[in-house]
Each structure stands twice: as C-alpha cells, then as structure tokens.
A and B are shown apart, each in its own frame.
Chain A
Amino acid sequence: MAVAELEAVIGLEIHVQLSTRTKMFCGCELSFGDEPNVHTCPVCLAHPGVLPVPNEEAIRYALKIAAALECEVAPRSIFHRKNYFYPDNPKAYQISQYDEPLAVNGRLGVIRIHRAHLEEDAAKTIHLGESGRIHGSGASLVDFNRGGTPLVEIVTEPDLRSAGEAAAWARLLRTTVRQLDVSDVNMEEGSLRVDANVSVRPAGSEVLGTKTELKNMNSFRFLERGIEAELERQRQLIAAGGTVVQETLHFHPADGTLTPLRSKEEAHDYRYFPEPDLVPLAPSEAMLREAREALPELPAARIERYRTELELSAETAALLAADPDTAAYFERAAGAASGVEARVVANWVTGELAAALRQDGGEAGAAGSQVTPEALAALVGMVQEKKISHGSGKTVLAALVAEGGDPEAIVEREGLAQISDSGELESIVAAAVDANPEAADQIRSGNQKAIGAIVGAVMKETKGRADGGEVNRLIKAKLADR
C-alpha cells in the first residue's frame, strides 16, 4: 500500500497535576523542588493501618475541568485500585477511577473528550546511572514528595489527524486548564504530561489500526516530533509489508528517537477492583453549579468574541485569546485607549510590542513586561492622533520595554514630537529633493516608487519625527511646482 494513502489517527492521554494545597488522600502539602521526602506522612507512605480521605478541593478542581471540557459528570463515580508493584507506588496500588469515571463525553474545540477522572500521582524515582532507567541502574532513589498529588487524567477520542494538530490542540487544552486556575500546567515540570496513542489506517477507513503509545514527550515541540517520527515509522513499516505491534514507546528528547519499553515493564494485569476504603463520589448539585458558574471565559469562546465583536482577524484573535494573561492585557489596553479601534490596539500588541519584546530578548509576554497596558494605550493614541510618527512610536515602545514609564515623558525627553511647523518641514523636503536629483527626475517621469529615497532622506534628517503622509504630500507638491 502506498504510504501516502495512510491516514494518521491520534488520541491523547493527558495528566494534569492539580495545584491544590494538599495531596489527594492526605494532608501533606504539595511542593515542587523541595528537599526529597519532606512532604510525607504515614498515609502517603502507606504505613500499616492508614486510610485515604479524599481531598474536597481536588474534587472541586476536577469538576471545573469537567465543566470546561463540557463533560457529563457522573452522579456517582467510584474509585478503583490499580494494583502493581513498583517502588514509586508505596501501597502497591494506585487509587484511580476505572469503569465509572467522574466525567465522560465532553469536547474541547472539535476534539471529543472520551473521559476525565481523578487519581493520585506516583512518587518520583531517580535511577542512578547513565540510562536513567531502572534496567542497568546500580541503585534507585525514591522521592515521595510527589506521591499522592491529585491528578486529573483526560482521554480524548482518536480525533486528531496530524502531529501538528495534536500539538496545537494540546496547547489549547493547556491554556484552557491554566485559565481555570487549577494547575500550573507546566510540561517541563511535569504538571502537564501528554501521552499519545498513534496509529495509521487507509484514508477513509472506519477501522482503527493497531496503536502504539508514546510517552515522555515533555514539551509541545517534542510531542509533535515524537508523533511525527512514529507516524513515519508506522508508514514505512506498512509500506515494507510489516505490521504494527501494540507497544509502549519511550521518546528520547536528545535525538528524537523512540524505543520500546521492555515487555516486563509492560505486561501488567492491574487487577482493578473497587476501592473499599472510599465511598462513591457523588457531587452535590451545589458543587456542580459552583463549578459551572466559576468558569471564566475560555479561549475558544474568547476567540469567537474577538472576531465578531472586536472585528479582529482570525489570526490576531487566536494569538491574543490563547493566553489568558495576554488577553487580559489586550483588553485593558483597548479599554484605556480612547478613540482608538480595538483592532489597532490588537495589532500593536501582536505586532510592534511582540517584536520589541523579542528584540529585547526577554521571555516575558506582554503581560509580564514593563509596558503597562495604559502606557501602550497612550502610545497608540499619540500615533493615531499624529502627535508622533509611527517610527517614533516604535522608538518610544523600545524605551518602554527597556525601562517602563510614561510614553509622553519619553517623547518629551527624546524630542520625538512630530514636526508640526510646516515651514520647517517644507525646507527640509526642499533640501532633500535638491540633494536627490535623480530620484526627483524619476518621479517626474512617473516612477512613484522613487519617492522612497527622498522620504528616507527626510526621515533621516528629522530623526523620524516627520509624519510620513505629510512628507509624501510635500515632496509631490514640491515637484509639481517646477
């Protein structure tokens, strides 16, 4: 079968670490980066006789996620024990949800959500030695600080059709969850972990091919690269007459390769059974209502509002709406800029400001920069009112990025106020025309493009303080005089 005819079928399994104050089933505080094994107690170390007590805050957070993903919440869901021996799992079972999860049948954008459920995170194991894996390691260390952190596992339907789409959707999920204020959703720190189930099938087929599960892709870029590499491998394999074997593949960030996990790690019979230490989870109507009512405007809805109400382009709307902080920044700036269309402010945020921040080399977005939304609004206002030229506006913006402050003061200090004395500007234009006779001739003979050289000379002389439109008008008038 020709490689090109094979369609990608991708589903994602996402683990979101909740940012509750305490762990899922005990009172230990959550932490990241603390000294190992300081946030532990008999419960999360699975001492004899202890019992789990569910964290109500975690349940509320999970209900917010379920509401944001438009899921149906089960009136009664139950916890199961997932049994396996491993040092990261002190009880030798993980408390998770199995056949009666908290939430089912949701969607985010066009991608359907199969289910979302609550569970607890495992402890962190560090295997000493080069491979960083348990095999071939001389010794392993366990840090139980992470053990018992509340997790929400989200499973999509296999609705994604390319690596790029998968990564883009995962980003949308991250911005959505971040806005709920229930998780740090940081892939590098592991508070957001995305695994991918990848298969291919003849285009148009309804039957799913054999899938492989990809793990350890700890950035969106790696997620995309990992899926891409696996799709390519499966296509090549099938093209060569082979068949895909169901297995779990470990992604290596260093070289982008995938290697199968050993079958010993893989061959689990988890012996799921209902957790007898916990009663069914039955959220009250009040809890459900609270979760729904606490929902902020989510990126998908915001993009739509920016397009229809503020008349932004689809691209600009998506750039601004994806990140709640940027969106809030934009909306404050647009609100502060009187008499300026939101569209113009939007273009400054995504255009000039983004460029100036890149130029500055900082990691912070608009919201984290020294440029307050009010300062940006004032700056855009000055440019719109032609108090300063567009070029001077960029100069002021660079100063704001570097030092913050008030744009009007910077204009004053740098002497950037537009040259409004037309006599002064006329004499500068006249000098520029005289200094560029060739360009002047070309313009007279109909080549309007040649005007650029003379405009450039004027701008150089005025240090950008002249209004470009006015300069153009004056040059044409000057040449027409002759």
Chain B
Amino acid sequence: MAELLKLTVAEAVAKIGAGEIAREEYSEAWREAAAGDELNAYLWRGEDGAGKGGGSLAGIPVAVKDLFCTEGVETTAGSRILEGHRPLYTATAVRRLAEAGAGVLGKTNMDEFAMGSSNENSAYGPVRNPWDPERVPGGSSGGSAAAVGGGLAPCAIGTDTGGSIRQPAALCGIVGLKPTYGAISRYGMIAFASSLDQCGPLTRDVTDAALLLGAMQGRDPCDSTSVGIEGGVRAPSQESLQGLRFAVPAELAHDAIEPGVRTVFDETLARIEALGGEIAEVPLPHAEHGISAYYVIAPAEASSNLARYDGVRYGKRSGGEGDLIEMYETTRSEGFGEEVKRRIMLGTYALSSGYYEAYYGQAQKVRTKIAADYAAAFAQFDFVVTPTSPSVAFRLGEKTDDPLAMYMNDFFTVPMSLAGIPAISIPAGLAEPEGGGPRLPVGFQIAAPAFAEQRLLEAAYALEQSLGFEARPGGDGGG
C-alpha cells in the first residue's frame, strides 16, 4: 500500500495503463490516506476517486480546491455564505480532468474566496503545514498544497490570483504552476479577481504538473477569455540549461528576504550556472509597486464579484424580517469573514465615483508598466527567477493581526499575475526559519513569457533533476 503512495502521477498512470496495478486498488489507497487527514486539508472526501475511462490521467484521484464547482457536491469557496451550496454544474477544468480519466478525491480547504496567504481565513478552520503543524501551509490553495505535501493526495489543483498556487506549494515543498492567464478555462471557478484568477496544478514534480496542465488547458466556449496553449503540453525531458538566459531582478538585493531563503536561492542560481545557464541582473523597476496595484485591482474586482452573494437565490440567507436591505446586510455580515469584508470595502472604495482614477485607474497603469518591464526583460532573457516567498512557512497566528505583513508574502508572486505570464515554483531546498527550528522547504520561482509553458516546464524539469529534492515531511532528508 505505502509503495503505491510513493508513485508519482506519471508513474501511476503508466503502471495502471500497463495493468501492473489495479485502478481501484490505487484509488482506494489514496482514499484511505485522505481519510487520515489531520491537517484539515479536506472539506469533503469522495468515494469514486478512481475516475472513469481511459486518458492521460486514467485512474488518478485529484484533490480539488473548493473554489471549483462540482455538480451535486457541496462547494463553499471556504465561506460560510456558501455553506450547503451544491452547484448545478461542474467547472470546465474539473470536467477536463474527468475526461482524461481522473476522479475527484476530495474538495480542499482554502482561504475564504481565495483571499489569503496562510489559509487562516477559511470559515472551516485553518489548514496545518505538513512539515510543522504549528505553521501555516500558505494560501489560498493551502488545503491542496498540504494534501500533496502531506501525502494525502497524489496531486491537486488550485487557483492563483496573486500567488495562491505558488506560495503554498513553496511552503509545503511541492511544485506549483500558475499558467498564463487564459490557458485554462475559468468557467466554474468561483471568481475572486476575474482578470487575475487562473487555475493550475499542485504536484510532487514538474512532470506531473505538465500532465495535469496538458489535461486542463484549452479554449473553452464558456470562457471568452480562454485561449489555451497552442501545440498543447508534452512531458518535459530537457536535462541541460545550456544557452538559456536567466534574469534576476536587480531590485532583489534590497528586498526583505529571510537569510535561509536567500541562501537556498543563491545556491539554486549556482546550480543553474552549473547546468550551462547564464545568470544576469535585469531591472524590473515597477515590480515593487506590484503589491500596491494588486491590492487595489483584486479587491475592486472582488467587490463586484462577491456582490451576488445576497441570500436571494442560493447559499446562506439571514434576516429578512425587516426589508430587503436589512436581509442583504444581515446575510452578508454573517456570511463573510473579516478579510473578505476588508477587501470588499477596499474595492468598493477604490471604484467609487471621485476615487476611481486615483486608485483603480492608477493601479491599472502600474499593471501596464509591470507587464512592459517583463516584456522588456524577455526581449533579452528566457526566464526571470526569484524566491517564491520571502520566508519559509510562518507560525499560525503570527501575521493574522497585521494584514500588510500578510500581504507582503505575495511580493514575489504578484507581478507575474499582474503581467498575466506563467510562473512555476519548485522546491529548491530547506532552510531554518527565522528564530530557529527544524528546516522547512524553500521554493524557487521561474517565470516565462506568456504561453511559453513548455519552455518553462523544460527548464524547471532540468533544474529539478539536478537539485534532486527528495525531502519529505517528518524527516529532514534532502535538499
């Protein structure tokens, strides 16, 4: 049994396809593993994770972030306001996984409406980091990352709006990929910030990430902004980085990064050079304003996207003894958590008449500048690299009283979201947290031009093979 759980998704698909292991046996092993969840990673666990039919993911149970609608299965987005909500339809990304033969292993916990970087904003309790249960798994796809990192799922999908796949993947020691905006349909993915939200895989390795991306990507007639990836996605096989140029943001030298994280980052740069890659600094002068722009644009869109939760048609309804406005107010006051309310208020303010230009308009200009910075960098370089997160996993409750400190977790991941470009986080090593303690995973982020997913996966694969990160929670075994 334990042997089955050690297989990567690609290995399991091959063995199931070859008849070496039984499909039901494999999914049953994962069902039992998921049943042992002590991290609060799952909000719901299914019975039919084996999936149906052949395909690139035949027999693979996938953990699905609770932001994706699943027909007939409660989908809450981590919020009280959607408690008991059973969607009438299934999200395109989940449907495509099923069409590739995968099953839904369970629905994973998350920050409410994907707003958070620690998974402490879930209405259903925080998720714990598999490496240290006193620490956060990151967020908002914290449940998906903890499930894969903690051996509760072979793979998972999540969503990334400003780092919500990459940062928890980094903090849980796994691979997380945010594809180009438009690569995967957003239909059925409960909206947080529509111009930034993108679905992506959280997996043990780069090959598995490619496998899931390949199954999910593509144009969808239900999503006008989806385009897919031309030529599809293949399993990566490149072993060298010869001739590839990697840019490090010049501003990185002054950024607040934990010493342990910086050490792992520098070691990884050296590894790239050892593989034949070239490293150079490139100015990305507007990246430092990314957080400010992001925390105007994302809440603005969220304030509009979340206005539909009014208690009239579905989900929670409170009050109503008074008039309509009273019902709206009571429902939303009781249904939404603190962070969601904070962002709705921020966003409503930013869009208000008289403030629009100063906030939303200005933030969009910054967004354009950041995209232009990256376009300029990609004229000379193949990739831009940074640490995924400025720190390793922090303690539960450590930043809950300081929203701004919490927001800085997204410092390295937000610019790519604003530019709409793909970025991957791969585990690059372990580092001692500030203040001491057992060593924890550090993520290394690689960003590529829009729709250059295949090149990104090839480079990440080459680096992954060289790094040989084998560490697992419970044993400080690698890096």
Contacts and interface: CB of A to CB of B under 8 A. Distances in A.
A90 B311 CA distance: 10
A49 B190 contact: yes
B195 interface: yes
B458 interface: no
B58 interface: no
Nearest to B89: A42
A134 interface: yes
Interface in B194-238: 194-195, 221-225
B296 to A, nearest CB: 11
B379 interface: no
A269 interface: yes
A49 B304 contact: no
B301 A276 contact: yes
A223 B191 CA distance: 42
A245 B225 CA distance: 44
Given A50-B187, A91-B308, A276-B194, A271 B313 contact: no
Given A49-B188, A51-B187, A271 B224 contact: no
A53 B221 contact: yes
Nearest to B353: A269
B312 interface: yes
B82 interface: yes
A278 interface: yes
A140 B301 CA distance: 29
A53 B307 contact: no
Interface string A300-328: 00000000000000000000000000000
A42 to B, nearest CB: 5
A64 to B, nearest CB: 22
A92 interface: yes
Interface in A271-291: 271-273, 276-279
A134 B195 CA distance: 35
A142 B189 CA distance: 27
Contact of A278 (B91, B224, B324, B348): B224
What range describes how many residues of A lie at the interface? 20 to 34
Contacts of A87: 312, 324
B351 A83 contact: yes
A91 B85 CA distance: 17
Contacts of A134: 324
Interface string B425-437: 0000000000000
Residues of B contacting A: mostly:
loop
A244 B125 CA distance: 57
A273 B224 contact: no
Interface in A46-99: 46-54, 81, 83, 85, 87, 90-93
B407 interface: no
Given A48-B85, A49-B87, A276-B301, A90 B190 contact: no
Contacts of A278: 224-225
A85 B307 contact: yes
Contacts of A269: 352-353
B186 interface: yes
Contacts of A42: 87-89
Interface string B14-31: 000000000000000000
Contacts of A451: none
B225 A273 contact: no
B324 A83 contact: no
Contact of A271 (B314, B328, B352): B352
Chain B CB within 10 Å — which of A42, A272, A273 has the most?
A: A273
Contacts of B348: 271
Nearest to B91: A49
B225 A92 contact: no
Nearest to A279: B224
A45 interface: yes
Interface of A: 42, 45-54, 81, 83, 85, 87, 90-93, 134, 140, 142, 269, 271-273, 276-279
29 contacts: A42-B89, A46-B313, A47-B89, A48-B75, A48-B82, A48-B87, A48-B190, A48-B191, A49-B87, A49-B189, A49-B191, A51-B186, A51-B187, A53-B223, A53-B224, A54-B224, A83-B304, A83-B307, A90-B308, A91-B307, A140-B324, A271-B303, A271-B348, A273-B300, A273-B304, A273-B356, A276-B301, A277-B194, A278-B225
